């Protein structure tokens, strides 16, 4: 049965990745080849399917992911991130400091590679908590929650970009429906959770000893407005075009130009040009400085891009081997919601691998093939691609544990025990993930 060989392929990927520490891209490609061959595809047909899936997936995604990483790098090294953080805190004041750190977390998570965003926000929230005279974990939890949520749901981050491509979703709609979900997640995991965790008094982490940031301050940083508008510009462009499409005919000349600029690659390209000019050239930096930041960002993000491509290869195998049709029939016969199935499969793979992008891509390849016509790319009736993106994104951040690098990043930087890390980090993810799935299921009768 096709489903058996799919399970064998997933198991092989997990064993290679977890036990033998094989790179995720290689593990996905090997699993794709095994699934194809075991389902009766010939060697040359398998080769064509894998290469087609890999190449087509990276067609536009590579541009979006790489440009997003470069914008984040320029934001950090120009001092824009520091200007943004300090400006928001100054405007909100200590009384509403939790709202300020949540906004900072959302913007950092949207604009930067996750580890960079975390490493910037960790010392910042502890310093703010000391000034506000509150337990630092009460600010760290909502700040990290907001960063994680933004990173998991919204483009230009790699996971959401890949999901939008896999499900043929509209990026503007992902923002429009994803923003309420992000707010719910932050309220539950970042605001309500600390209230039920009891005493959150913990010693100041060791890395904060000395209480001073001895990094050299950026020279001539951009203004607060520029620091805010550049990382948000892709979202503003895509949301605006999605709304404009309500009144403008997409086939008209105006509609075609609007959707050209509202497409993810072009919106990210506009944001990149703004970042290079406003974070670089206008700040007095030479072109060599800007290109150095570009090259460093590309070197960091390259591995993620390759994993996304391998996920595309796995997806194509699921489609071409007929597994997708089999799973689609199974879901129809059993009346299993594709949103629940997408969330559940993603949760299982994330718990096993500890890798969000891998779990999301693998689940999307399975569910996408089951609910989408491989020829036209049209979803079956009653299934909404935007809700599939949100359900899969929610599943990719359910209760990560000791096999997840982010788990250890949170534990070590905040100097917590494994028990405390599971309560705080694990709790903010699990609670928000479940609420997000409920949100998707509540919307599902109205979309599709």
Q: What is the mean pLDDT of residues 321-348?
A: 76
Q: State the Cα–Cα distance between residues 324 and 326, nearest whole angstrom.
A: 5
Q: State the Cα–Cα distance between residues 56 and 346, nearest whole angstrom.
A: 22
Q: State the Cα–Cα distance between residues 119 and 213, nearest whole angstrom.
A: 13
Domain limits at 152?
2-446
**What local confidence, expressed as pLDDT, does residue 7 receive?**
83
Q: State the Cα–Cα distance between residues 141 and 432, nearest whole angstrom.
A: 12
Query: Is the distance from CB of 237 to CB of 267 less than 8 angstroms?
Result: yes
Q: What is the mean pLDDT of residues 401-412?
A: 75
What percent of the chain shows pLDDT beyond 70? Answer: 92
Q: What is the mean pLDDT of residues 124-143?
A: 84
**What local confidence, expressed as pLDDT, does residue 212 receive?**
43
| Burial degree of 308 (CB within 10 A; 0-12, 13-18, 19+) | buried
**Can you give the C-alpha Rg of the chain in angstroms?**
22
Q: What is the pLDDT of residues 74-119, one digit of tens each?
A: 988 898 888 888 888 888 887 788 898 999 999 988 887 787 788 7
Count CB neighbours of 194 within 10 A: 22
Query: Is the distance from CB of 414 to CB of 122 less than 8 angstroms?
Result: yes
Count of domains forming the chain: 1
Is pLDDT of 150 > 90? yes
0.75 exceeded by pTM:
yes
Q: State the Cα–Cα distance between residues 348 and 340, nearest whole angstrom.
A: 12
Q: What is the pLDDT of residues 365-398, one digit of tens each?
A: 888 888 877 667 677 778 899 999 999 999 998 8
Least Cα distance to 30 among 267, 317, 283 occurs for 317
């Amino acid at each position: 049965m096709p489903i058996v060989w799919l399970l064998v392929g997933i198991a092989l990927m997990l064993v290679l990745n977890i036990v033998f520490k094989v790179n995720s891209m290689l593990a996905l490609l090997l699993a794709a080849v095994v699934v194809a061959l075991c389902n009766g595809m010939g060697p040359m047909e398998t080769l064509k399917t894998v290469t087609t899936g890999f190449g087509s997936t990276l067609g536009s995604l590579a541009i979006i992911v790489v440009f997003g990483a470069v914008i984040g790098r320029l934001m950090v090294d120009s001092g824009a991130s520091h200007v943004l953080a300090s400006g928001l805190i100054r405007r909100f004041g200590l009384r509403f400091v939790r709202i300020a750190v949540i906004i900072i977390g959302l913007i950092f998570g949207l604009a930067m590679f996750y580890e960079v965003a975390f490493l910037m926000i960790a010392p910042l929230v502890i310093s703010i908590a000391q000034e506000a005279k509150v337990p630092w974990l009460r600010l760290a939890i909502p700040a990290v929650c907001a960063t994680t949520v933004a990173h998991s749901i919204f483009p230009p981050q790699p996971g959401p970009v890949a999901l939008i491509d896999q499900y043929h979703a509209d990026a503007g709609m992902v923002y429009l429906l994803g923003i309420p979900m992000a707010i719910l997640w932050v309220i539950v995991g970042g605001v309500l959770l600390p209230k039920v965790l009891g005493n959150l008094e913990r010693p100041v982490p060791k890395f904060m000893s000395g209480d001073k940031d001895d990094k050299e301050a950026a020279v001539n940083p951009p203004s607060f407005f520029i620091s805010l508008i550049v990382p948000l510009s892709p979202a503003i462009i895509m949301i605006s075009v999605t709304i404009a499409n309500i009144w403008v005919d997409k086939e008209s000349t105006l509609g075609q130009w609007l959707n050209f600029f509202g497409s993810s690659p072009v919106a990210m390209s506009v944001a990149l040009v703004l970042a290079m000019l406003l974070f670089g050239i206008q700040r007095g930096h030479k072109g060599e400085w800007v290109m150095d930041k570009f090259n460093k960002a590309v070197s960091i993000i390259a591995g993620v891009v390759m994993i996304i491509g391998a996920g595309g290869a796995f997806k194509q195998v699921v489609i071409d081997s007929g597994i997708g049709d089999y799973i689609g029939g199974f879901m129809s016969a059993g009346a299993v919601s594709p949103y629940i199935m997408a969330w559940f499969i993603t949760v299982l793979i994330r718990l096993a691998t500890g890798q969000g992008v891998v779990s999301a891509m693998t689940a999307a390849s399975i569910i996408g093939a089951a609910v989408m016509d491989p020829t036209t790319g049209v979803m079956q009736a009653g299934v909404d691609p935007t809700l599939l993106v949100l359900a899969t994104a929610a599943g990719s951040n359910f209760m990560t544990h000791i096999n997840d690098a982010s788990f250890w990043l949170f534990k070590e930087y905040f100097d917590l025990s494994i028990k405390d890390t599971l309560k705080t980090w694990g709790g903010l993810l699990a609670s928000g993930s479940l609420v997000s799935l409920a949100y998707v299921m509540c919307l599902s009768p109205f979309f599709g």
